[in-house]
């Protein structure tokens, strides 16, 4: 009996103390994630700086104030700082909270002047001591005017989840759309993301965005362009052991209709495989550093157009030259660029194609200069394959594509087959073949 009573007392004490303990854990993890976010983006121009400006933690509740500063953004709309005020209630396994942007004068001005004082945005969050953070943003429908344009914004929601480390990010969102009267109408947007973040450039996972309908108007009710079912997906695969990164993006559109043209079933995938992740990150960091210096000098010009033009002329070429050593480090064996599943449905017929090119060995920029002088060595450096099919009559003066263009070609770039122009090229058995015939280099 005494043991049971002791256990009960301990359990009650744990339950009573849980809100306080979870409040401590929540604060510790929040501060850690803010520090990691700033560390991740500290060298990136135009990236925000995150700061917890106030954290008042009580036994069962906490009041928190975050400040996000975009110090390098042009001060056009006076929105260089975003303040988020949050109130959290501690629970047994975590905490729940609500947040608002009403501490920002620019946000309050918009609500009061354009929305009759009704805030359409609701932000709720949950912290679980085992799984991490989740935040939901809900946007209620609203309308407002800017000069002579009338905007209508439909409902939207965005759910974001992160683990306790902040490394894994899961997001799902939907947006019914928005319209500008007689100008633009966008309907049915959705976004998804499921990624692990290793650095500003190195990630692993999938993301997508889709839009059901986009209509563009010419100042009346008649659409000059309709785009149906636009989708964009990206997949990034990072191998920590080999430190190689492969990434691919797929773009598709069901239909594009204009006044005089209809295009159907547009699709293409573009990928880069076997990138050396360390070299890629170094290239990105070097580029960001150079661009940051450029923007600093432009900011010091006090918007003088002549000074800005002079700065651009002096520094832009230097950025390209300065990046060449970093680009060279990416030229490693098995680096591949591919374009697959290209398809465009035109009134004249379908366009289909794909292309893949990869390095057989590590290369330097000087090695490419050697290829220019000794083109026959190309087959030792690259693996290559390409296919393209076009409807006849699509290309003006197509006859020039059907005959050899220079000595060494036994066929034209294309051949005629069943009412189509067909191209096929590949490197096979140490030969460059064009439409099945060797192209002598």
Q: pLDDT tens digit string along 306-328? A: 888 888 888 888 888 888 999 99
pLDDT at 76 (0 to 100): 45
Other residues' Cβ atoms within 10 Å of the Cβ of residue 317: 10
Q: How many CA atoms lie within 13 A of 439 on its CB side?
A: 21
Classify residue 300: in a domain, yes or no.
Answer: no
Give the DSSP H/E element, type plus range, for residue 421: strand 420-428
Q: Which of 125, 140, 155 is the last residue of a domain?
A: 140
Residue 31's pLDDT band, with cuts at 50, 70 and 90, is confident
Long-range own/partner contacts, residues 11-20 (CB < 8 A, 24 or more apart):
15/92, 18/90, 18/91, 18/92, 18/93, 19/59, 19/60, 19/90, 19/91, 19/92, 19/95, 20/59, 20/60, 20/90
Q: Which of 110, 140, 170 is the last residue of a domain?
A: 140
Classify residue 225: in a domain, yes or no.
Answer: no
Mean model confidence pLDDT for the chain: 87
Q: In percent, how much of the chain has pLDDT > 70?
A: 91
Write out the residue range of the structural domain in which residue 403 sits.
336-438
Q: Is the pLDDT of residue 343 over 60?
A: yes
pLDDT in tens, 353-363: 999 999 999 99
The total number of structural domains in the chain stands at 2
Classify residue 80: in a domain, yes or no.
Answer: yes
pLDDT at 5 (0 to 100): 45
From the list 188, 183, 248, the residue with the least C-alpha distance to 213 is 188
pLDDT higher at 25 or 82: 82
Classify residue 239: in a domain, yes or no.
Answer: no
Long-range own/partner contacts, residues 129-132 (CB < 8 A, 24 or more apart):
129/22, 129/25, 129/93, 129/94, 130/93, 131/161, 131/163, 131/164, 132/29, 132/161, 132/162, 132/163, 132/164, 132/165, 132/166
Placement of tokens 């950025």 in the chain: 319
Residue 20's pLDDT band, with cuts at 50, 70 and 90, is low
Classify residue 286: in a domain, yes or no.
Answer: no
Burial letters 143-161, b for 16+ CB under 10 A, else e: eeeeeeeebebbebebebb
Q: Is the pLDDT of residue 414 over 80?
A: yes
Q: Is the pLDDT of residue 17 over 60?
A: no
pTM score, whole prediction: 0.84
Classify residue 168: in a domain, yes or no.
Answer: no
Q: Which of 72, 107, 140 is the last residue of a domain?
A: 140
pLDDT at 394 (0 to 100): 87
pLDDT in tens, 205-238: 999 999 999 999 887 777 789 999 999 999 999 9
pLDDT at 16 (0 to 100): 45
Q: Is the pLDDT of residue 139 over 70?
A: yes
User: Do 244 and 275 meet the contact criterion of CB atoms below 8 Å apart?
Assistant: yes
Long-range own/partner contacts, residues 34-38 (CB < 8 A, 24 or more apart):
34/66, 36/165, 36/166, 37/166
Residue 44's pLDDT band, with cuts at 50, 70 and 90, is low
414 three-class SS: coil
Q: Is the pLDDT of residue 14 over 80?
A: no
Classify residue 213: in a domain, yes or no.
Answer: no
**Which of 212-216, 273-277, 293-297, 395-399 bottoms out in mean pLDDT, i.e. has the lowest?**
293-297
pLDDT at 92 (0 to 100): 72
What are residue 279's phi and psi, to 5 degrees? -65, -40
pLDDT at 201 (0 to 100): 83
Classify residue 86: in a domain, yes or no.
Answer: yes
């Amino acid at each position: 009996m005494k043991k049971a009573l002791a256990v009960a007392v301990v359990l009650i004490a744990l339950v009573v103390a849980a809100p306080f303990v979870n409040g401590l854990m929540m604060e510790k993890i929040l501060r850690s994630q803010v520090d990691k976010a700033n560390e991740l983006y500290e060298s990136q121009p135009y990236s925000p700086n995150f700061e917890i400006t106030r954290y008042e933690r009580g036994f069962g509740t906490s009041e928190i104030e975050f400040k996000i500063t975009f110090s390098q953004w042009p001060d056009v709309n006076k929105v260089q700082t975003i303040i988020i005020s949050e109130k959290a209630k501690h629970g047994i396994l975590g905490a729940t909270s609500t947040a608002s942007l009403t501490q920002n004068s620019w946000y309050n001005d918009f609500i009061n002047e354009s929305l009759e004082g009704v805030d359409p945005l609701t932000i709720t969050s949950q912290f679980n001591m085992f799984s991490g953070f989740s935040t939901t943003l809900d946007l209620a429908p609203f309308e407002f005017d800017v000069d002579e344009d009338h905007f209508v914004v439909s409902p939207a929601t965005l759910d974001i989840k992160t683990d306790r480390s902040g490394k894994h990010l899961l997001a799902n969102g939907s947006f019914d759309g928005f319209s500008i009267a007689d100008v633009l109408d966008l309907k049915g947007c959705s976004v998804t993301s499921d990624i692990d973040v290793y650095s500003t450039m190195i990630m692993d996972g999938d993301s997508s965005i889709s839009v059901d309908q986009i209509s563009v108007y010419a100042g009346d009710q008649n659409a000059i362009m309709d785009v149906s079912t636009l989708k964009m997906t990206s997949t990034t695969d990072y191998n920590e052991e080999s430190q190689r990164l492969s990434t691919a993006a797929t773009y598709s559109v069901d239909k594009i209709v204009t006044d005089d043209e209809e295009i159907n079933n547009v699709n293409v995938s573009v990928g880069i495989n076997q990138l050396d992740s360390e070299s890629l990150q170094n290239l990105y960091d070097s580029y960001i550093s150079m661009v940051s210096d450029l923007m600093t000098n432009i900011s010091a010009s006090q918007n003088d157009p002549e000074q800005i033009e002079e700065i651009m002329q002096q520094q832009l070429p230097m950025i390209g030259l300065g990046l060449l050593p970093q680009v060279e480090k990416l030229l490693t064996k098995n680096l591949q660029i591919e374009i697959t599943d290209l398809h465009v449905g035109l009134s004249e017929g379908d366009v289909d194609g794909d292309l893949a090119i990869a390095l057989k060995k590590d290369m330097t920029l000087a090695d490419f200069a050697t290829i220019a002088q000794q083109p026959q060595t190309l087959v030792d450096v690259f693996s290559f394959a390409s296919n393209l099919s076009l409807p006849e009559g699509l290309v003006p003066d197509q006859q020039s594509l059907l005959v050899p263009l220079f000595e060494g070609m036994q066929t034209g770039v294309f051949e005629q087959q069943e009412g189509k122009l067909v191209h096929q090229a590949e490197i096979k058995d140490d030969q460059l073949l064009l439409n099945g015939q060797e192209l002598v280099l």
